[in-house]
Each structure stands twice: as structure tokens, then as C-alpha cells.
Amino acid sequence: MSQELERVYTIPLGKVLLSQSQHRAVRAINMIKEFAQHHMKVETIKIDEELSHQIWARGVRSPPRKIKVRMSKTDEGYVLVTPFTDDVESAASPAKENKKVEDVVEEAPAKEEAPAKEEAPAKEEAPAKEEAPAKEEAPAKEEAPAKEEAPSKE
């Protein structure tokens, strides 16, 4: 009987769009209640405030198309419908974060090597700069006669 105490369902709410736009969120709440009554075999259904906020978050006209919920039977004889939160992933997340930290530590030495690689291209750029002044000298000689020609035309 402990297996029946708590279940996780994905409730399709697509048929909500068949109703008038001003009644869609209300119909979504009613569809959740009907789904819970059908699957959990209990008449009294209570919807958690967080789930209600998720349904109404985008307004009355556009509730979500589907929603994942956790339904749990209580000792008082009603079913409490709450939004589903995956507890297993939250435990696995810190391990993933540790791996990311290790990756960052491994990348730091790689960054130290990167400046050494940058120095090599800088040496290659220096000879290119030496060639560039030689090219600048040649145009400077051409510019000087051009200046002489300009005053003679006037």
C-alpha cells in the first residue's frame, strides 16, 4: 500500500485550449482534479498553492500544455497534488560542479602556456615590421617629387 501513497504523473492539459480563453486556467485546475480523482481513486483533491501559481503564471488565457505533478495520499483521506521536483538531480549536481572546478584548475596551466605561444607570433611580427619601414621609405621618395610638382603648377 505504500506504493499507492505517492505517484508522479505528467498531466496533459492540451484540451484546455478548446474552452473559451477567459476560462482556460480554471478548466486546467478542474482537469487536474479530475485526473487525480480518476488515477488515485479518491474524491477529495487538494491542489498545492505552488501548482496553482504555475498554472496561473502566464495568465488565464495561456496555461501550460502539460504539467508534471506528484500526487500523494494523506492519512486524512484526501490527495495532495504538488508540482514535481526531482530530488535525485539535486544530489547529483554538486558532483558535476566539482568536476567543473577541476576542469578550471586544469585549464589554468593551459593559459600559462598560451602566452608562450603568443610570444612566438610576436617575434614573427617584428620582422614584418622591419619590412614595412622599407616599403614606407619608397613611397616617401615618391611623395617628395609630387610635392615639388604641385607648386610648379600654380
Domains: count for the chain: 2
Model pLDDT for residues 7-32, shown as the tens digit of each residue: 999 999 999 999 999 999 999 999 99
- Looking from the CA of 61 toward its CB, the CA atoms found within 13 Å total 1
Domain extent for 94: 86-142
Decide which of 51, 66, 85 is a domain's last residue.
85
CA-to-CA separations, 143 to 130, 132, 133, 134, 136, in angstroms, rounded? 21, 17, 15, 15, 11
Model pLDDT for residues 86-114, shown as the tens digit of each residue: 876 555 555 555 655 566 566 655 555 55
| Whole-number pLDDT of residue 87 | 73
- At residue 134's C-alpha, the angle toward residues 133 and 135, to 5°, is 90
Residue 73 and residue 6 in one domain: yes
| Whole-number pLDDT of residue 5 | 87
Residue 74 and residue 90 in one domain: no
CATH of the domain at 33: 3.10.440.10
What is the arithmetic mean of pLDDT over 82-86? 93
Residue 44 and residue 12 in one domain: yes
Check if the beta carbon of residue 47 is closer than 8 Å to that of residue 37.
Answer: no
CA-to-CA separations, 51 to 47, 66, 83, in angstroms, rounded? 7, 12, 5
| Whole-number pLDDT of residue 86 | 84
